Structure 1
């Protein structure tokens, strides 16, 4: 009696179906994780800038519009690949104000509709432009 070795077509198709089901569950979860990690990198950078903006204000008695004045001449690549960061200051009002904004670009823009643009101002008020809540995004 001869014994056949190998897989049947049915066994192979079942294996392919199981792998496809696992991939269809895992890929969306992975992309959500990537979006959250990109957002976390941007939040960390923005909070660091806010801290440096306050230090700058203590030294110069005003806020600055220049990232280079805050020691951030270049934005880290993990942030700049997914966000544009802008610092705006208004020293003509009393007390002076500033806002730091991280605007998503590319795939981060299309995939992070829940949070969108992240902003913080001189009194620490955080805001978003997306459909989610500030507490879940920040």
Structure 2
């Protein structure tokens, strides 16, 4: 009995290993480029939430002054500085305290002026981002280089 094998030319189905490896490499390169941009976007978004919360705290400070004729006593235990008693202690204020990215502080408070700051939480993704500040005279600052002071070029929120 003679058996004859038939050889048919069927079209190739699927991907070769080389094609698959090239696809994975391209996806890896795109991800390596996109991920840092994404992280920067998230940090900027969290900073924007802190800025909005500072503006809301500033409005609460103004309401406190309208009621008591001074900015003093707006912090916890009727203190002049520290965590605010008249507003949330964290930012984003719309989220739970455990999910906070910034802690809000009344850093300076006199009868006629105040300085409020949002300080990044050290265990959050915002650690090392620098404090965000709002002064009662309307000045806004962001410590972009995170050195603990506000330089002349840092008196803006979008520097």
Q: Normalised by the shorter chain, which TM-score bucket? A: 0.7 to 0.9
In the alignment, the residues of structure 2 paired with residue 74 and residue 117 of structure 1 have an alpha-carbon distance, to the nearest angstrom, of 15
Query: How is 1:28-107 mapped onto 2 (pairs within 5 angstroms)?
Result: 28-63=36-71, 64-66=74-76, 67-68=84-85, 70=86, 72-73=87-88, 75=90, 76=93, 77=95, 81-91=100-110, 96-105=112-121, 106-107=124-125
What is the TM-score with the length of structure 2 in the denominator? 0.70
Superposition deviation, residue 74 in structure 1:
5.3
Moved beyond 6 Å, runs of 4+? none
What is the TM-score with the length of structure 1 in the denominator? 0.80
| Structure-2 residue corresponding to 1:120 | 134
Structure 1 126/31 Cα, relative in aligned 2: closer, same or farther at 3 Å?
A: same
Q: Deviations over 1:32-62 (max 9, x none)?
A: 1100110011000001110121121112101
Which of 112, 119, 126 pairs up with 1:108? 126
Structure 1 86/33 Cα, relative in aligned 2: closer, same or farther at 3 Å?
A: same
Number of aligned residues = 129
In the alignment, the residues of structure 2 paired with residue 120 and residue 134 of structure 1 have an alpha-carbon distance, to the nearest angstrom, of 10
In the alignment, the residues of structure 1 paired with residue 155 and residue 108 of structure 2 have an alpha-carbon distance, to the nearest angstrom, of 22
Give the SS at the match of 1:124: coil
Give me the CA root mean square deviation. 2.3
In the alignment, the residues of structure 2 paired with residue 41 and residue 74 of structure 1 have an alpha-carbon distance, to the nearest angstrom, of 14
Name structure 2 gaps, 5 residues minimum: 1-7, 77-83, 146-152
Q: Relative contact order: is structure 1 or structure 2 higher (C-alpha 8 Å, sep ≥ 6)?
A: 1
Q: Is the 8 A contact 1:87 1:98 kept in 2?
A: yes
* Structure holding more helix per residue: 1
| Structure-2 residue corresponding to 1:18 | 26
